[in-house]
Amino acid sequence: MAERNDLSKLKRSIRVTGMTCATCSRIVERSLKKVEGVSFVAVNLATETAFIVVDDESLPQEKLEEAIVKAGYGFSYAAPEELESRRYSEARHNLFLSWAVTAPLMALMVLHMTGTHIPGYTLMELIGGLIIFIGAGSASFKGAWIALSHRHANMDVLVVFGSAAAWTTALLHLIGLPLTSFGALGPMIVALHITGRYIESHLRDRASKEIRALLAIQAREARIIDGDGGELLVPIEAVKEGHRVLVRPGERFPADGHILEGRTSVDESMITGESLPVGRHKGAPVTGGSLNLTGAVTVEVARVGEDSFLAQMIALIQEAQGAKVPIQAFADRVTNVFVPIIVGLALIAALAWYSASPSLTFLLDGAGRFLPWVTSARDPLSLAIFAFISTVVIACPCALGLATPMALVAATARASRHGMVIRNAEAIQTSRAVTVVVMDKTGTITEGRPRVVDHNLSPEDLAAAAAIESQSSHPLAKAISEAALAPLPPASEVTEEAGRGVTGHVEGRLYSVGRPEDAESHRDQLDKGRTVVEVRREGEPVGFIAIEDPLRDDAARTVERLRELGVRPVMATGDNEHTARAIASRAGIDEIHAAVHPEGKLDLVRAFQARGEKVLMVGDGMNDAAALKGADVGLAVGSGTDLAIDSADIVLVGGDLTALAETIAISRKTFSVIGQNLFWAFGYNVVAIPLAMAALLHPIIAETAMAFSSISVILNSQRINRD
């Protein structure tokens, strides 16, 4: 656990405020990368978080905060609910103010366009624009100023350019220049921008509801039992390892631990994805955040704070959501130069209309027969300004910037609902191409709760074997160590060789427990799907132990689902071929590799990869570490304590094994959605920008379309989250 703690201190997560588009997140990322001691940075616009890896845990947090402020943005450590409440309150106020001014202006503009000229209309445009710019739209102007003062451009810059240019035409018209006034468009553009941002922000917050739900199940208080047996209600921060806490029915467990007294059933659905309550009795582990259903229990606290399972799970999900996948690099390269290119195109369009409007107006005359919003202005300056406004307003790098991170947020949320924690976001992209799934047997295809069902040992030899195995971490060791009556004799000089067995001295004699030399002599046990280990004393066989690990109820369904996805299931196990075939046949697996040592599993993975296969390795995270790391995607099946496994890309912390197949299904759906998002984001700009440059697209329609392009990307990404 100490290793995980050290690693966790090298990872930082900061909520960044003030970002409005992908360019903003890129600027924050660049600023943080300049901090000495920072080795990795990923800033996610969708979750508004910066995930940072530092080389030295002593790097002051203030250095990172200064870098964010230096880039022109803010940071916050307030709870997500508090930030949302504050943001929505401000957004609603701005929304009401902007439309209170804009709606009357729009009505007057329609009357004006139909020939009903309102006295003082141009002055109303000027005043209405000032109210919006100073009030509801001040955040956009501030964002644009910050961006330009730091020598970069973001979405606010485009909105400000467009709205300010439109408003300026009213001022120029009022002082007597022969220029058509588009002044009302200024506040309208800002109002539509605020509306789009409000809807987009609401949808983005809904998309990360799973993280907020995990945060919400953390207990706020705990009932500690003191030395006199009394109860003391204290804040959760006061709970320490070793404390005894009383948890009553209907309360959440305040921390990870094990039951000292009592019996109950526990709802762990928010953590493991398992919908059915599970029974817990004396000695059984419990997880902080899970719900106690039926009985009062006394729990001894084992892990608190960042060491707790729930804290690890939240951190890992946030890390995956904040990370970037390879496909995002393409979108990042585009958004990097998008705003400067759009401003350049807008200037080109303005110059073209100003210098050659007499020869281009036939386009407007022809289009005006079909498109009612085509401007009636025909003087060069008015047309140049109109084309400039339309072009800068129509461009939308936000849709490009959100295409991938919003899909990742939805994918990780869906995975967490199925009891999966994605530790490496790149696994989401890689999993879609998986063609072979290599599965370990014990603890993966089987339940991982083996028990001794037969043996022919004397009580002394069984006790010696149990004493040696009690010092092993192998999944079968616990079953053997519990097979003999306590107390066990002391064992010394115990050594374990992965895949072969355990040796040690008991009462002066050398014992070894491991694979039998002659498996055929145990055919009757092997044909029943049992694992047989041989016990030797001073090198001579003295008997065997038969162990049975029941097949998981969902193993056959998982294999069937993998085949439906076009993926070939393969079983690789250190067990003998007879046992492996018996288990594989019940699970529906045709291809098996038996008597495979841990290093042999890695060789098997590489053999598949050499033939061009994409391999997903599934194991219990112990003897399979090398194969998990060597596979294209490594998935560890285990409990909350296994979240710290560095060799796995994905950890299945509970629930249904069919989540294994769900990993591949989620990946395929995610990248289908990302492809659609990028296609429509690019397609929208490819079609809309030329129309805007040709002055055939009204700025109001352009701004509305720009807002809804981002909203459509978010809504499309949410399809991933629907089972």
Q: How many CB atoms lie within 10 A of CB 687?
A: 13
Structural tokens at position 521? 């002599």
Specify the residue for token string 């194991």. 619
Report the pLDDT value the prediction gives residue 617, as an integer from 0 to 100. Answer: 92
* Tens of pLDDT, residues 579-599: 888 889 889 999 999 888 877
Report the pLDDT value the prediction gives residue 179, as an integer from 0 to 100. Answer: 79
Is there a single domain that holds both residue 573 and residue 500?
no
* Helix and strand element counts for the chain (H, E): 24, 26
Report the pLDDT value the prediction gives residue 398, as an integer from 0 to 100. Answer: 67
Report the pLDDT value the prediction gives residue 643, as an integer from 0 to 100. Answer: 47
* Among 91-100, 124-133, 135-144, 638-647, the least confident range: 638-647
Beta strands of 397-539 (E only): which ranges? 420-422, 436-439, 451-455, 491-497, 501-506, 509-514, 531-537
Average pLDDT over residues 9-19: 81
Report the pLDDT value the prediction gives residue 501, as an integer from 0 to 100. Answer: 83
What SS3 class is residue 349? helix
Is 575 a residue whose pLDDT tops 80? Answer: no
Structural domain range at position 167: 82-209+332-375+693-711
Question: Is residue 678 included in any domain, yes or no?
Answer: no
Instruction: Give the C-alpha distances (Å, rounded to integers) separating 172 from 160, 180, 219, 374.
Output: 18, 9, 62, 22
Question: Is residue 366 included in any domain, yes or no?
Answer: yes
Q: How many CB atoms lie within 10 A of CB 680?
A: 16
Dist CA 652 CA 636 (whole Å): 6
Is there a single domain that holds both residue 357 and residue 344?
yes
Listed residue (283, 621, 292) closest to 475, CA to CA:
621
Report the pLDDT value the prediction gives residue 83, as an integer from 0 to 100. Answer: 67
User: If you ran DSSP here, which 8-state letter would residue 324 be given?
Assistant: -
Q: What is the phi-psi region of residue 493: left when phi exceeds 0, alpha when psi lies from -120 to 50, beta otherwise?
A: left
Is there a single domain that holds both residue 440 and residue 576?
yes
Structural tokens at position 598? 């841990």
Question: Is residue 699 included in any domain, yes or no?
Answer: yes
Listed residue (377, 401, 399, 402) closest to 388, CA to CA:
377
Is there a single domain that holds both residue 702 and residue 584?
no
Q: Is there a contact between 592 and 607 (Cβ–Cβ < 8 Å)?
A: no
Among 58, 80, 102, the domain-final residue is: 80
Cα 379 to its chain centre, rounded Å, is 53
Specify the residue for token string 């892990």. 303
Q: What is the phi-psi region of residue 29: left when phi exceeds 0, alpha when psi lies from -120 to 50, beta otherwise?
A: alpha
Listed residue (678, 683, 720) closest to 404, CA to CA:
678
Listed residue (574, 575, 582) closest to 602, CA to CA:
574
Structural tokens at position 343? 């401003």
Beta strands of 304-435 (E only): which ranges? 420-422
Report the pLDDT value the prediction gives residue 325, as an integer from 0 to 100. Answer: 65
Which of the pair, 139 or 333, is modelled with greater confidence?
A: 139
Dist CA 628 CA 637 (whole Å): 11
Structural tokens at position 372? 């009612």
Question: Is residue 398 included in any domain, yes or no?
Answer: no
* Tens of pLDDT, residues 456-514: 999 999 999 999 988 887 767 888 888 888 788 999 998 987 667 899 999 999 999 98
CATH number for the domain spanning 562: value is: 3.40.50.1000
* Tens of pLDDT, residues 673-685: 988 888 887 787 7
Question: Is residue 321 included in any domain, yes or no?
Answer: no
Dist CA 56 CA 157 (whole Å): 37
Write out the DSSP string of 437-503.
EEE-IIIIIB-S--EEEEE---HHHHHHHHHHHTT--STTHHHHHTTSPSSPPPEEEEEEETTTEEE
Is 141 a residue whose pLDDT tops 70? Answer: yes
CATH number for the domain spanning 51: value is: 3.30.70.100
Average pLDDT over residues 440-466: 87
Dist CA 354 CA 384 (whole Å): 5
Is there a single domain that holds both residue 38 and residue 125?
no
The percent of residues in the chain predicted with pLDDT above 70, rounded, is 87
User: If you ran DSSP here, which 8-state letter would residue 261 be given?
Assistant: E
* Tens of pLDDT, residues 610-628: 999 999 998 875 567 788 8
Q: Is there a contact between 576 and 532 (Cβ–Cβ < 8 Å)?
A: yes
Listed residue (480, 423, 500, 440) closest to 622, CA to CA:
440
Which of the pair, 433 or 500, is modelled with greater confidence?
A: 433
Long-range own/partner contacts, residues 486-492 (CB < 8 A, 24 or more apart): 488/463, 489/463, 489/464, 491/464, 491/467
The identity of residue 185, as a single letter, is L
Report the pLDDT value the prediction gives residue 687, as an integer from 0 to 100. Answer: 83
Average pLDDT over residues 534-555: 89
CATH number for the domain spanning 230: value is: 2.70.150.10
Is there a single domain that holds both residue 537 and residue 438?
no
Beta-bridged to residue 171, according to DSSP, are: none
Cα 95 to its chain centre, rounded Å, is 31
Report the pLDDT value the prediction gives residue 1, as an integer from 0 to 100. Answer: 36
Specify the residue for token string 């629930």. 655
Which strands form 256-261's sheet, in the order they lie side by side? 231-235, 221-225, 244-247, 297-303, 256-261, 285-286
Among 80, 101, 116, the domain-final residue is: 80
CA angle 639, 640, 642 (to 5 degrees): 75
Listed residue (587, 590, 591, 592) closest to 556, CA to CA:
587
Question: Is residue 43 included in any domain, yes or no?
Answer: yes
* Tens of pLDDT, residues 252-311: 888 889 999 899 988 876 666 565 678 888 888 888 888 888 888 999 998 887 777 777
Is there a single domain that holds both residue 246 and residue 147?
no
Q: What are phi and psi of 255, to 5 degrees?
A: -160, 170
* Among 51-60, 75-84, 382-391, 705-714, the least confident range: 75-84
Dist CA 690 CA 349 (whole Å): 9
Q: How many CB atoms lie within 10 A of CB 117?
A: 8
The percent of residues in the chain predicted with pLDDT above 90, rounded, is 17
The identity of residue 323, as a single letter, is A
Q: What are phi and psi of 512, to 5 degrees?
A: -135, 140
Is there a single domain that holds both residue 184 and residue 96?
yes
Is 100 a residue whose pLDDT tops 70? Answer: yes
Average pLDDT over residues 654-672: 84
Instruction: Give the C-alpha distances (Å, rounded to integers) separating 559 from 224, 428, 552, 585, 632.
Output: 46, 20, 12, 11, 19
Which of the pair, 700 or 249, is modelled with greater confidence?
A: 249
For the chain, how many structural domains are there in total? 5
Question: Is residue 388 included in any domain, yes or no?
Answer: no
Is 427 a residue whose pLDDT tops 70? Answer: yes
Report the pLDDT value the prediction gives residue 159, as an integer from 0 to 100. Answer: 81
Question: Is residue 365 included in any domain, yes or no?
Answer: yes
Q: Is there a contact between 68 and 16 (Cβ–Cβ < 8 Å)?
A: yes
Dist CA 450 CA 134 (whole Å): 71
Among 548, 573, 607, the domain-final residue is: 548
CA angle 204, 208, 213 (to 5 degrees): 140
**Which residues, including other chains, have CB under 8 Å from residue 40's CB and lie 6 or more apart?**
52, 53
Is there a single domain that holds both residue 121 and residue 195?
yes
Is there a single domain that holds both residue 163 and residue 100?
yes
Dist CA 386 CA 693 (whole Å): 9
CATH number for the domain spanning 476: value is: 3.40.1110.10
Q: Is there a contact between 196 and 707 (Cβ–Cβ < 8 Å)?
A: yes
Report the pLDDT value the prediction gives residue 246, as an integer from 0 to 100. Answer: 92
Is there a single domain that holds both residue 599 and residue 625?
yes
Tell me if the bond preceding 541 is cis, omega within 30° of 0. no
Q: For the purposes of burial, counting CB atoms within 10 Å of the CB of 110, is it exposed (0-12), middle (13-18) or buried (19 or more)? A: exposed
* Among 29-38, 62-71, 390-399, 712-721, the least confident range: 390-399
> Which residues carry out catalysis?
440
Q: What is the pTM of this model?
A: 0.67
Is 183 a residue whose pLDDT tops 60? Answer: yes
With bands split at pLDDT 50, 70 and 90, how would you rate the model's confidence at 606?
very high
Is there a single domain that holds both residue 164 and residue 122?
yes
Is 232 a residue whose pLDDT tops 90? Answer: no
Q: Where are the alpha helices (DSSP H) in 208-300?
A: 209-216, 269-272
Report the pLDDT value the prediction gives residue 644, as an integer from 0 to 100. Answer: 43
Report the pLDDT value the prediction gives residue 536, as an integer from 0 to 100. Answer: 93
Structural tokens at position 190? 């800002």
Mean pLDDT of the chain: 82
Structural tokens at position 308? 């707790």
Average pLDDT over residues 224-245: 82
Dist CA 709 CA 688 (whole Å): 11
